[in-house]
Amino acid sequence: FDSLEPRTFSIIAHVDHGKSTLADRLLELTGTIPKSGANRQVLDRLKVERERGITVKSQAVSMTYDYETPNADGSVGKKRYLLNLIDTPGHVDFAYEVSRSLAACQSALLVIDASQGIQAQTIANFRVAKALGLPLLPILNKVDLPASDVDRCLVQLEELGIDTADPVHRPLMISAKTGLGVEDVLKAIVERTAAMPGTEDGKVEDRDGKGLRALVFDSWYDSFKGVVALVSIKDGAMKKGNSIVSAHSGKKYEVLDIGVNYPDAKSTGILRKGQVGWVICNMKDMREATIGDTMHLANDKIEPLEGFRPSVPMVYASAYPVETTDFVKLEEAINRLALNDRSITVQRESSMALGQGCRLGFLGTLHAEIFRSRLSEEYGQEILVTAPTVPYRLTRPNGKVSIISSPIDFPSDGDRANKALLLEEPVVHGRLTCPEEYTGEMMQLCSEHRGEELDVNFSEMTGQKRQVELKYRLPMAEIVTDFFPKLKSRSSGYAGFEYEIAEGEEYQSSDLVKLSFQLSGTPIDALSMILHRSKATAEGRIWAKKLKDVVPRQYFEVAVQAFVGGKVVARETVSAYRKDVTAGMYGGDQRRKDKKLKNQKEGRKRMRELNVGRVSIPSESFIKLLDRS
């Protein structure tokens, strides 16, 4: 690899637009993997990714490509290039991972499914790439499909501000599935990306142990190798045996092994400017391999590369073991999984009702869902996951800002009355697309979820149903609950929805309240929720009913109450049990009555019980009530 001129690129696309398929074809065409034509998805290595068709972690792979150039005498010359492909996740929950992967690249392929056109995530990725100043190579994929509409895509690209007539941005039409036009993609990568200064013709600088700047853009924990960091060498070279220093922490390490993925890990002993590969040094803990960090040589003065902003969790939920005794095992499993995904935050929490558990922060709902399924698939842990909460922002009169990620931390009514507290909730910009006939229904759905209409567009499509595109500003809290199932059912599955966090408009002030519940005067903390005042009474009624259904009859009457700000908003009553169990047995024989009472007592004994004041609830039914997974 050392003598080859490098090009580092990434593929960005909306989910299912063909990124993984294209990556497979590129690897086959360059002989990096054998030709199979099958859908191999080489880059998607984690089991959960393959099953769900989602790329979670970014991966890097190198390949060599023989670029053909006509010589002056008419013969064909060949120049071999080193191409480094950095894969990025495609879902909006992972926008942060996209940005850190792109920073390691020189250019990006913007893949668009020509039958679908530009989608929200295409735009979100496009913006990240543009902000980083990366050259973009638009690719219209799936042109083999009869539904593909290249002209419409061209118009949409122009709308994004891409001059499709400019040779540098001229879109390529391909089919990643059949391989049509894929060779042109390789050519275009070479032609349209400039060589990094100092790497032309493979004359890669070494600078003799000086000037190394390596950008850490991904890392994970491997049970055999320890901490593995993926780096993109921006200047100089890194060699096995080098003493390197983290610009972020100042900590010093020794390079124990270094190499590339081709497509599997291969030691090379060195990585030079323009190359992308993995480094193993004596890091003990994942947290030492900070994403966005610059590694440099010991005793060398360098300017660190521009870092990254840390990821911010947008959805919080609590996880509790189904059996209280399993907490230690659960916590261990959570920590091990979180080790490979630093965008997850973990904090211990305890609930009166559920015992010890963990409060987890995720980038979005999909992220949370993937985490939960990995936990049960890879660690065999059955867990209870509570309702998701978004991070609310609380600003005190003295200007102090704090984030409230759990109802436990919601300010008390007294505090709110006495102090001028500003409460805000996160908002997103959503883009909903559906066939025209569902427009009314979908607008209704958005407004039920406190959405504010921003824009409505009807597409002009020949031979197909007219599509409508609705743009809404929506509170994040509204889309983490039942928005998606409703969207699907009320549009007969035809509507699509994507959201992004609008920069500079992350929060809006909101009339938020805490809804809490009591059984005969004793609070049940695990059921509390933060929500908008307009929803509190209706939700209070729904949950009071659900709660009533899981409270077994007692010897006394039990009041189920829902409170907002000290006021009861809903009430249900569980009537006393002796009266009811035997009701309807007028004068029936006493032995039967006694037996029924005895049976019920024993039945209750078998299950663990949750004690709320004087009331006992079988924990199994309480868990069912709480679990939203």
Q: How far is CA 358 from the centre of its chain?
A: 19
Question: Which residues is 172 bridged to in the sheet?
Answer: 139
E strands of 322-391, at which residues?
345-351, 355-362, 383-385
Residues 44-73 that bind ligand GDP (CB under 6 A): 53
**Tokens 């109802």, located at residue:** 407
Taking residue 568's Cβ as centre, other Cβ atoms within 10 Å add up to 13
Could you tell me if 339 and 354 are in contact, meaning their C-beta atoms sit under 8 angstroms apart? Answer: no
User: Shortest approach of ligand GDP to residue 180 CB, angstroms?
Assistant: 8
Q: Judged by CB, which is closer to Mg ion: 119, or 246? A: 119
User: Shortest approach of ligand GDP to residue 39 CB, angstroms?
Assistant: 5
Among 32, 55, 115, 386, binds Mg ion (CB under 5 A): 55
Q: What is the token pair recorded at 500?
A: 């992004």
What's the DSSP call for residue 389? B
Stretch that binds ligand GDP, among 95-103, 174-182, 194-202, 532-540 (CB under 6 A): 174-182
Q: Judged by CB, which is closer to ligand GDP: 93, or 572? A: 93
CA distance 57 to 221: 12
Residues 15-34 that bind ligand GDP (CB under 6 A): 15-21
User: Shortest approach of ligand GDP to residue 511 CB, angstroms?
Assistant: 40
Question: Which residues is 272 bridged to in the sheet?
Answer: 237
3-state secondary structure (DSSP) of residue 152: helix
Q: At 168, phi and psi to the nearest 5? A: -70, -30
Q: Judged by CB, which is closer to Mg ion: 43, or 333? A: 43
Binding mask 79-108 for ligand GDP (x = CB under 6 A): -----------x------------------
Q: What is the token pair recorded at 522?
A: 């004793």
Q: Which partner, ligand GDP, Mg ion, none, binds residue 445 by CB below 5 to 8 Å per kind? A: none
CA distance 106 to 193: 7
176 binds ligand GDP (CB under 6 A): yes
Stretch that binds ligand GDP, among 9-17, 223-231, 281-289, 563-571 (CB under 6 A): 9-17
Among 3, 39, 457, 590, binds ligand GDP (CB under 6 A): 39
Residues 123-162 that bind ligand GDP (CB under 6 A): 141-142, 144-145
Q: At 379, phi and psi to the nearest 5? A: -125, 0
Could you tell me if 314 and 405 are in contact, meaning their C-beta atoms sit under 8 angstroms apart? Answer: no
DSSP alpha helix (H) spans, 30-136: 47-52, 95-102, 120-131
The dihedral over CA atoms of 468, 473, 477, 480, expressed in degrees to the nearest 10, equals 30
20 binds Mg ion (CB under 5 A): yes
Q: Which partner, ligand GDP, Mg ion, none, binds residue 15 by CB below 5 to 8 Å per kind? A: ligand GDP
User: Shortest approach of Mg ion to residue 501 CB, angstroms?
Assistant: 23
Binding residues for ligand GDP, rule CB under 6 A, total 18
Q: Contact residues for Mg ion (CB under 5 A)?
A: 20, 55
Q: Contact residues for ligand GDP (CB under 6 A)?
A: 13, 15-21, 39, 53, 90, 141-142, 144-145, 175-177
